Amino acid sequence: MLKPNKPINNISMKILHILLTILISLGTLPAISNQYNVYSPNNFNDAIKQENQKERILFILDLSNSMEEPLENSTKFNLMINTMSQILPQISPDTWIGLRVYGQRMGFTPLEACRASRLISPINSNNNQNIENALKKTKPRGMTPITYSLKQAIKYDFMGFSGKKHIILLTDGGENCDESPCTFVMNLIKIRRDVRIDVIAFNINDSEDLEQLECTALVTSGKFYNAQTSAELLNGFNNSIDGVKNVEAKILLPNN
């Protein structure tokens, strides 16, 4: 038969108090708290601040009708999809990433076609698979409103994030709706410096288009890649996400 627990007497309470005092004086309790990520009032705000300061990444991908053009026994669109399927699993799930596309619809008027830009996967952590699934449901259809997409992304997609903002833009052509994205970012950096834009020019041969896209990247301290092949496309994405890849992740480039 179980006996009822005896109440803790004064001597036991004194012993317990002494043990706790020793642990605190030796710094054992803070060590235990840190080991199990137990936040105190002093470090909770710091943890929130560090989380808000993390870099957010937004992919902006081209779904204009020219992405249906053939390349390497496939289409540029399919090569982009395959490349993203290789890239996304390499990104650490703790990284906040999102996806905006443009040219996903044609529209009944030129103005409507030039406003075809949509955030199809808002920026979040553990978002890799959501982005891949959303992208596979899209089809190339319309125009190339790059500048409008950048404006929407900076104004709305990063709303509430105070840290660094990293845009990875892929396009197979230059702006054909609005002002040059180069002109836009030249004005942007006059008022803010928290946005970096990497640009991947995919299978573009027009020198003026390449110049405006390279300018867009360099003005924002981003990287510019002139990718003529799927291997170069993969390399461009790989370099752009280099800082947020899983430690054990490796991307195998296709054989030349």
Q: Which of residues 255 and 229 earns the better pLDDT score?
A: 229
Q: Distance between CA 63 and CA 171 in Å, rounded? A: 8
Residue 200 confidence (pLDDT): 98
Q: Among residues 220, 216, 166, 223, which one has the least CA distance to residue 190? A: 220
Residue 58 has pLDDT above 70, yes or no: yes
65: CB partners within 8 A, 6+ apart: 103, 106, 140, 141, 142
- The pLDDT value given to residue 71: 98
Q: Check residues 194 and 3 and name the one with the higher pLDDT.
A: 194
Q: Please say if the pLDDT value at position 37 is more than 50.
A: no
DSSP letter, residue 33? H
pLDDT at 108: 83
Q: In this structure, what DSSP letter does residue 154 have?
A: I
Q: What is the pLDDT averaged over residues 61-66? A: 97
pLDDT tens digits, one per residue of 152-161? 999 999 999 9
The Cα–Cα gap between 66 and 173 comes to: 8
User: Measured in whole angstroms, how far is the alpha carbon of residue 2 from the centre of its chain?
Assistant: 60
CATH 3.40.50.410 domain range(s) in the chain: 54-244
Between 244 and 66, residue with greater pLDDT: 66
Beta carbons within 8 Å of 132's beta carbon, 6+ residues apart: 84, 85, 88
CA distance 238 to 54: 20
pLDDT at site 12:
56
Average pLDDT over residues 110-114: 92
Band the pLDDT of 35: cuts 50, 70, 90: very low
Mean pLDDT of all residues in 45-52: 49
State whether CATH 3.40.50.410 applies to domain 54-244: yes
88 burial via Cβ count (<10 Å: 0-12, 13-18, 19+): buried
Tokens of 4: 């009822």
For residue 54, the model assigns a pLDDT of 82
* Closest among 156, 209, 223, 221 to 185, alpha carbons compared: 221
Q: What is the pLDDT of residue 91?
A: 96
pLDDT, position 107: 79
